[in-house]
Amino acid sequence: MREMVSDLEEHLKKESVPSSLREEYEEEVEKNRQLESEVEHLQQELFKKQGHREGGPAKGLQAYDGMSQLALKKLLRTLEKEKVEVEWELKEIEWRLDQEASAVSKATEEREAIRDRLAQLKSQSQVGSHQ
């Protein structure tokens, strides 16, 4: 994937690309970098929350050895509630992403329609000026 991006960047530097497309490309690259960074951060957080510390998962489980069964059940209920909350949050984020994707798609279609209309008007004005 990174090789493909590098190839595209080289191609972009060699080719004469309209500035609006270049800006759009650069914005997308920046968004991808931010998302990759966020994914990496979230993976690290998840890794920490799952008890993966130095010494492996078994060392993380040792913290629960001294807890009573009642305390463990309470902790389990709390974790289950947190899981449900996170699942709902994930669904909400997915919904918002779908909404944003729809909005971007609509804006792109509108932009294309405007470009087409401008090209049509430009060609009509050129035909009219030649007469």
- pLDDT tens for each residue of 15-44: 665 677 778 878 888 888 898 888 888 888
- Which residues are CB-neighbours of 25 under 8 A, at least 6 positions away? 12, 17
Q: Which residue has the higher pLDDT, 130 or 110?
A: 110
pLDDT tens for each residue of 63-112: 777 788 998 999 999 999 999 999 999 999 999 999 999 999 999 999 99
Q: So where are the chain's domains?
A: 1-66, 68-131
Task: State residue 58's pLDDT score.
Answer: 58
The pTM of the full predicted model, rounded to 2 decimals, is 0.42
How far apart are the C-alpha atoms of 101 and 69, rounded to whole Å?
Answer: 47
